[in-house]
Amino acid sequence: MKTAAVSRTTDGVVQAIQGTIIDISFSGQLPPVHTILRTGNNASVYIEVLLHLEPHLLRGIALTPTRGLSRGMKVSNTDSPLLAPVGKNILSRMFNIFGQAIDGLGPINDVSWRSIHQPAPSLLRRSAKSEIFETGIKVIDVLAPLERGGKAGLFGGAGVGKTVLLTEMIHNMRGKHHGVSIFCGIGERCREGEELYRDMRDAGVLPNTVLVFGQMDEPPGCRFRVGNAALTMAEYFRDDERRDVLLLIDNIFRFIQAGSEVSGLLGQIPSRLGYQPTLSTELYRFQERIASTDAGAITSLQAVYVPADDFTDPAVVHTFSHLSASIVLSRKKASEGLFPAIDPLESYSKMLSADIVGKRHYLLAQEIRKTLAEYEELKDIIAMLGIEEISKENQRTVRRARKLERFLTQPFVTTEQFSGIPGKLVSTQEALDGCEKILQDAFDDLPESAFYMVGSIGEVEAKRKEQADGKRSDAP
């Protein structure tokens, strides 16, 4: 960890230890809140100052295990807050909360160090324009467009394609926006972090990515601060390099959970359902740093865990208040082979407004949702009686919906090595043109399979031409 030179004149003494909470006395002036202190054998225990209890007594939380710590031990003041490395050389590397490289490739060189506690951009610096962050993924850009400089929630369990979607967005970020991606793992399992690193390396997206992890087995203080470290790195690329940044957070609920643990250890009286009384303030300070400014934008995609599927849980309610879009991954869609397995009826975006995306996009999106919703209602009847028993108009709706479902699938660049299908990056206009033609029944002569795992509608039209040429060549 990088800190300022240790001051010999402001040493303190450990007075009490309660798990990872440590009370320390100083004979002189107390170090400011957020200052890092060091103690233990070889100064291996890092403590962040959280509270000033008395004129000469403070309370801090350990960011490392406190094994071997005892009362009476000397405490050194670093005169510095927790610092994160910033610079071009951090790309393609993986770090812990202290800015130490944990990818086995040696220490990081030629970087600067900045405090992880930075203020949110002022209102004067923020961009007042509502802009769309185009991902190149059809179902997102058409039905749940992301906001440039906004926050989107990603809801999905294990095995529904969450990691694949994240790696594809990282790839598209580099190719389409020439930006960088920061992956922040809050409370990640060691196995998950290692697998993600390997998947990104194999997919070729690692050179433009930085990974920061506060792992599940680390103290709550460490998990509580790792998001701030990732944000500091993202702010460097936005403000200094003037590049757009995609910040991927997995999982924002664990940030709130770590804050709750810290609050409980500090002895604060909990609020509703046992959460910390400072929940909204902590989340606000974190989320408000994610913004679009005159220099660039930090666009965030955050995985959200919903405890017991209760959307009225305080952690979920406060998180939703910051999100501009919600992407829901469906296990049912994944089981049907419809990838990306995004549920178009459950996903939504505040950006899907005629004033922002345009009247044509808005009306088409509403028509697509209506068609897919009507098909969802007809599924039970079709399963019991068969499609022949419903009206001709409903049969047309079903055909359109099934073709739309398949057209909204898409081969990814990051899955080429597994599927053998070249990945496709599709513009929003190309996706809208395809959906519009399907809704107008322009491809009634083609089977549903012609729309599966294609890019633009031009590929479907090419299949139709091939089919027509084949019929002419077979004619006597």
Question: What pLDDT is stored for residue 280 in this prediction?
Answer: 93
Low-confidence ranges of the chain (pLDDT < 50): 4-9
Give the model's pLDDT for residue 113.
Answer: 97
pTM metric for this prediction: 0.87
Residue 473: predicted pLDDT:
61
Reply yes or no: is the peptide bond before residue 340 cis, omega within 30 of 0.
yes
Reply yes or no on whether 471 is catalytic. no
CB 45, CB 80: distance < 8 Å: no
| Candidates 188, 282, 405, 430; catalytic one | 188
If one counts every other C-beta atom within 10 angstroms of the C-beta of residue 283, the result is 19
* Alpha helices for 358-427 (secondary structure H): 359-385, 392-407, 416-419
Output b/e per residue, 134-169; b: 16+ Cβ within 10 A.
bbbbbbbbbbbbbbbbbbbbbbbeeebbbbbbbbbb
Based on C-alpha coordinates, what's the Rg of the chain? 26
- Whether 162 is a known active-site residue: answer yes
Q: Is 369 a catalytic residue?
A: no
What are 304's two structure tokens? 């959200």
Distance CA 329, CA 340 (A): 8
CB-based burial label for 73 (10 Å; 0-12, 13-18, 19+): middle
Contact between residue 339 and residue 313 where contact means Cβ atoms under 8 Å apart: no
Alpha carbon distance, N-terminus to C-terminus of the chain: 79
The catalytic residue among 71, 189, 198, 465 is: 189
**What is the pLDDT, as a whole number, of residue 34?**
96
Consecutive H or E run containing 467: helix 457-474
Give residue-wise pLDDT tens across range 350-385. Answer: 999 999 999 999 999 999 999 999 999 999 999 998
pLDDT value for 201: 86
Q: Which two tokens stand for residue 225?
A: 């601060």
The Cα–Cα gap between 96 and 103 comes to 10
Which pLDDT score, from 0 to 100, does residue 474 have? 59
Lookup: tokens for 219: 């103290």
Within a 10 A sphere around the Cβ of 421, how many other Cβ atoms? 13
Q: How many Å apart are CA 251 and CA 184, to the nearest integer?
A: 8
The one catalytic residue in 38, 114, 138, 162 is: 162
